[in-house]
Amino acid sequence: MSALVLALALSADPRAELKMLEARQRAEETAAQLIARQERSVLDTLGESEEALALAEGEWRQVEQERAAAEAALGSAREAERRADEALSARLSALRPRLVARARMGKAGVLPVLLSAGTLSDLVKRRYLFDRILSRDAALVAAARQARAEREAARAAQETVTANLAALAIEAEERKASAEARREERRTLLSALRTARSFHERAASEISAQAGKLGELVSALPPRSGGTPASHFAERRGRLPRPADGAITVGFGRVVNPKFNTVTVQNGIDIAAPAGAPVRAVAPGRVVHAGWFRGYGNLVIVDHGAGYHTLVAHLGTMRTAMGEDVEGGDVLGTVGDSGSLKGPYLYFEVRERGRPVDPRPWLAPQGTGGL
């Protein structure tokens, strides 16, 4: 308890620190429950953690957007108040000499001036001119009052926007702390999964089963109709660009885990690429799947015609939709770690009539850029 009190005292934001500690405790409890309940799916547990993180980050982004809009509105409100101040100053500047003149005329007002007229015509003329002057003075007074009202309204609007911005700033910090807590929870959970051999073996088994289901999905996709340029995919063998820049870290086929000495079979390759890096279509085609797939996270499948498909998985974000036609080089999404037990990287497959083939012979030598 003393350590917790000290941590809260030293933190710049005690609420955020408390959320982090609570998240770490929840993660440890989750890991303990996972160990106690061996029958539970590792991938489902990871999916739940990722869903909670995505929800928290979405709420944070939403509040940040509202805060950005409020900041823009505050700038507009300040500009409106500035213009209102200038308008009021201009009105008062125009009215001031008239008020001074009226004060100099004293209580008698215009009567002495009218009575000093030598002729009736002169009297009528003086009366007309004074009416014009009075109308002008009245208009100046009305304009000054209107300018003052507009200034007060602008000032009130700015105060409202300022208060709203302050509230959004507090909410944004709370949402950010929540997202960070969820991220810490997921990180702790992943650490437990990666260091326990039993969980690694179960995850490998589940991913193998999901690979079979993915194969069934690809085989069930309807063939693409029409003789489009995308149907010449086979001619691009050895000339395809990499979907993301990076080295191939895990190859196609039989893979031995160096830590646990377990054997798995990969239907594609792993490409080391930083989180957020663009993932591009390797050739023209049509997107036939863009969504979550258990064990593969955010998955995009492109049909290139003549029975050829390419798949990119574990995307951080997807920037395409099912049914969309894409050209080679179009961005499909970004590198991420959705559904991944390894961290951020890109998983890439090439399938010929539903059968996975080694992507490496299809790729152009690194540095040539492909065709």
Domains of the chain (ranges; CATH) run 15-195 (1.10.287), 198-362 (2.70.70.10)
Condensed to tens digits (0 to 9), the pLDDT of residues 218-247 reads: 988 887 765 444 458 999 999 999 999 999
pLDDT at 82 over 70: yes
Q: Which of 87-101, 156-170, 319-333 is predicted least confidently?
A: 87-101
SS3 93: helix
Let me know: does 216 contact 354? Beta carbons within 8 Å. Answer: no
Tell me, yes or no, if the pTM score tops 0.85: no
Instruction: Report the relative pairing of strands 285-293 and 297-305 from DSSP bridges.
Output: antiparallel
Amino acid at 124: V
Confidence class of residue 206 from pLDDT cuts 50, 70 and 90? Answer: confident
Give the rounded percent of residues in the chain with a pLDDT score beyond 70. Answer: 69
Mean pLDDT estimate for the chain: 77
Condensed to tens digits (0 to 9), the pLDDT of residues 127-146 reads: 666 667 667 767 767 776 77
> Distance (Å, rounded) from C-alpha 117 to C-alpha 125?
9
The DSSP-derived string for 190-233 is HHHHHH-HHHHHHHHHHHHHHHHHHHHHHHHSPPPPS--GGGGG
> Distance (Å, rounded) from C-alpha 91 to C-alpha 87?
6
- Residue 221, phi then psi, degrees to nearest 5: -65, 135
Let me know: does 332 contact 281? Beta carbons within 8 Å. Answer: yes
Cα torsion at 326, 317, 192, 273 (round to 10°)? 60
Q: 293 Cβ partners below 8 Å, 6+ apart? A: 210, 214, 217, 299, 313, 339
Condensed to tens digits (0 to 9), the pLDDT of residues 2-26 reads: 443 334 344 445 666 666 666 666 6
SS3 1: coil
pLDDT at 276 over 90: yes
CA 215 to the chain's CA centroid:
32
Cα 128-129-131 angle, rounded to 5 deg: 65
